[in-house]
Structure 1
């Protein structure tokens, strides 16, 4: 566990960061010893270790598991059985994962102690920002957070997203810290009506535009959605500022009281300024124009979030993009110790106090893990090698043991003795017709190459997803693109020949297996791009939220299989789709 430190003192946090990234082996051994000694008498470990709590016995007898392997214990806990099934401390709640990968949220156990550790983790990261970005502490953060409803289990424990958990369970000290750091009042961020919350957070941000030192959200995709929301609502926001009166449709008590702290009188000068900037033909660099003292845009921009980098660069102009930290519902893992690094160079440094970390070797050529039953190769944190790919395996104080997170990480170097890694993507294949296996990283690179063709036309891919269409032979890949323009009121009707070129560019970016299968339509048919109406991906997000996902944690799935999601996509396809010609124009 992280040693205690002053959450408000960046110097104290930086000293601690250097300590924990230097004494890595000692800390990892201590973490595992503490977890095992605490939880040795739980039903799960007792049945596997029989009282033996040394590292060798742990590695020999405790299996590496997935969520499905562990689900029966989660089900028993949610149905009222005691926490000591897996953990010696009371489980205070369950964290509901985003559900992006599995289609439905997973329930991850969390103790009060580990919750406080995650709050401390955030202060470690914040200290790095203050160190590398001068003057950041002279203002506040306009960070867009959103909560979701809570699910009550049979036993009465609550399940909620990580962001909801943090926002709703801040103690007095942390609440004071929020007011010191954030532009938008806490009560607005905890409003469950996402639309009212987003509107009021934007309104507070505009009213305090000269006090905004950084702008962001947990994920890059949320920043993009906020910008699109601003494009649709700036007229009304200006009206509120000009009259000093909040729109009648804002009825949530928390939002009304939060905005009332700042919307105290008419401000026609500010309204005119915002109107002038928003009314220009292009929204390029709009963030810096509306918030002139902002020094960065913040949010996770790695993995599947990398597709939004061009949009963030468009909205942000010259503002640096800061990718903050890496973690999930299962465990907070690493921070970006070089927050001003280029998006393509972002690596995260593992904080060894947050859990016990192991790494399942992934063969890059085959992009498959070693056989999980016969030939499992798992290495310790201190034994990873630069340039190698690994699937992350975590053991936590809250009762997860040798749990496969499903993320593939590539080791890029070390900070002191702690490994640095780049997030490669989810381990699972996202598209496949036959022998071909296209992973998240491969698809993102291919689409990135095709996006370059859009630039001369001032077009942007606002969001995308994909599927493998097996309804006919041969099957083929289908990409759904939502397009946007860099200039106002431009028609989003690209030439069919141009989008056909995009199809070819994507196909040429795939590996030799795909291209061999694709040759002359032998086993894979021509890739297809379907352009969907503006707002389609907001509709997908709303659907996911209605099923229990969190707006703050929502990530557009790279590929979809759900029939319900496919119906939404197909219902929004514009009149034409664009498909590569049957004859392949590239060589093997």
Structure 2
């Protein structure tokens, strides 16, 4: 735990002469950085005690960590008091810059599905700039952002052509497998067209051949001859009850719209996921929300949360709303609030089954029974849409 506080972020009185003057704080994905902050919220007392005594908590039993920390850990009561003073405050707004005062920006991916973490990162960092520097996965590195300090909504990644052999499948919303007939549709790196969307296909040095990564990218331009892409969404992340189809981008936008109703209560959505519940007749969408309530005396009411459910429905496509209003083939959308820390437990479960902690992303749609059971066991309240979304035969998009 002591490794959370490197020398260059000590208070001025404790900073060594050779310390750096500024540095970023970051993680690969925004969710990973927020998980580290949550860990600090839960364990800052033990951290301060370790620093004060110059010893490690007994819970840390990894020999390599113990050996490493034994070489650098020394009693520092003044730093321990500083941590206690900052972390014991009820308000954690700006905690990153309060503990790491030399932090100038956050180095973290906040494009695609990670964009929904931006308000929470702004809260904990006091509004520090967000730098999205790279586009990569466990398969290989794909590209770099040559303008890392631009707004997250403006991020474009320049493909690194020496990392793999890149091909692009023109995006067809309902395409299935990469069959022999679809092979001619593959477009080479230099032949993509600005404004069009493609699914990324890679052949790697490690042996993957024409592997479909599952990312949908939009071409925004070229740097020299290398194309630049904006990450649009993951492919085929859908909710569906009847003839409706809701993808990740639409769901995220709907959640963002509904969360606006929480602003006056100083509350935000920390995490969410969903699934299509077809056990009921008719089936309905279920959205799991974990909230960050910054003022417990002014938390959103049952009525407000029900209105959030309706606001999500209002933001979904006309096929969904037609099913709700005209055909009654879809039931009222349901928000299930879960306990704080639920999505950390979900991550722990995924890692226990072999997921990489560096590559883990919260799934936006789930249907694996053990995961839904875990989520349902942490539900504290449920909130159904109180009415029907607007729809007429003329309201189509």
Give the TM-score normalised by structure 2.
Answer: 0.90
Matching residue of 1:559: 365
Partner of 1:421: 229
Report which of the two has the higher share of helix.
1
> Shift of residue 371 of structure 1?
8.2
1:482 paired residue number: 290
Change (3 A) 1:229 1:246: same
Q: Secondary structure at the match of 2:57?
A: coil
Counterpart residue number, 1:546: 352
Give, in whole Å, the separation in 2 of the partners of 1:224 and 1:534. 13
What are the superposed Cα offsets for residues 17-44 of structure 1, whole Å, 9 maximum, x if unpaired?
Answer: xxxxxxxxxxxxxxxxxxxxxxxxxxxx
| Structure 1 partner of 2:253 | 445
Q: CA deviation at 1:297?
A: 1.0
Alignment-derived partner of residue 187 in structure 2: 379
Q: Is 1:523 matched with 2:329?
A: yes
Structure 2: runs of 5 or more not aligned: none
Higher relative contact order (CA 8 A, sep 6+): 1
Query: Shift of the alpha carbon at 1:460?
Result: 1.9
Matches within 5 A, 1:361-376: 361-363=170-172, 367-369=173-175, 372-373=178-179, 374=181
Q: CA deviation at 1:237?
A: 1.4
Largest Rg, 1 or 2: 1
Equivalent-residue separation in structure 2 for 1:371 and 1:253 (angstroms): 47
Q: Greater CA deviation, 314-323 or 240-249?
A: 240-249
Match of 2:307 in 1: 501
Give structure 1 stretches of 5+ with no counterpart: 1-198
Alignment check: 8 A CA contact 1:521 1:583 kept: no
Deviation at 1:409, TM superposition (A): 0.7
Displacement of 1:206:
8.6
**Are residues 456 and 380 of structure 1, via their aligned partners in 2, closer, same or farther at CA, if it must alter by over 3 Å?**
same
Among candidates 378, 384, 391, match of residue 579 of structure 1: 384
TM-align CA RMSD: 2.2
Helix, strand or coil at the partner of 2:36: helix
2:99 aligned with 1:294: no
**1:200-219 → structure 2 map (5 Å cutoff):** 200-204=2-6, 211=20, 213-219=23-29
The answer to whether 1:321 aligns with 2:144 is no
**Structure 2 CA distance for aligned equivalents of residues 426 and 375 of structure 1:** 20
CA-to-aligned-CA distance 1:239-282 (integer Å, 9 cap, x gap): 222233322322222222222233213x2222222222222231
Aligned residues: 383
CA deviations 1:319-346 (Å, max 9, x no partner) are 1111121122222110111110111111
- Aligned equivalent of 1:43: none
**SS at 1:226 equivalent:** helix
CA deviation vs aligned residue, 1:24-81 (integer Å, no higher than 9, x gap): xxxxxxxxxxxxxxxxxxxxxxxxxxxxxxxxxxxxxxxxxxxxxxxxxxxxxxxxxx
Q: Mark the CA change 1:401 to 1:551 in structure 2 (over 3 Å): closer, same or farther.
A: closer
TM-score (norm 1): 0.62
Query: Offset at 1:200?
Result: 4.1
For the 8 Å contact 2:130–2:152, the answer to whether it is kept is yes
Where does residue 52 of structure 2 map in the other structure? 242
CA–CA separation in structure 2 for the residues paired with 1:411 and 1:359:
11
User: Alpha-carbon deviation of 1:463?
Assistant: 1.0
Contact 2:121 2:127 in 1 (8 A): no
Cα distance change, pair 495–205 in 1 and its aligned pair in 2 (3 A) = farther
Aligned-pair CA distance for 1:415: 1.9
Assess, with a 3 A threshold, how the Cα gap between structure 1 residues 560 and 349 changes in structure 2: closer, same or farther. same
The Cα of 1:518 is off from its aligned counterpart by 2.0
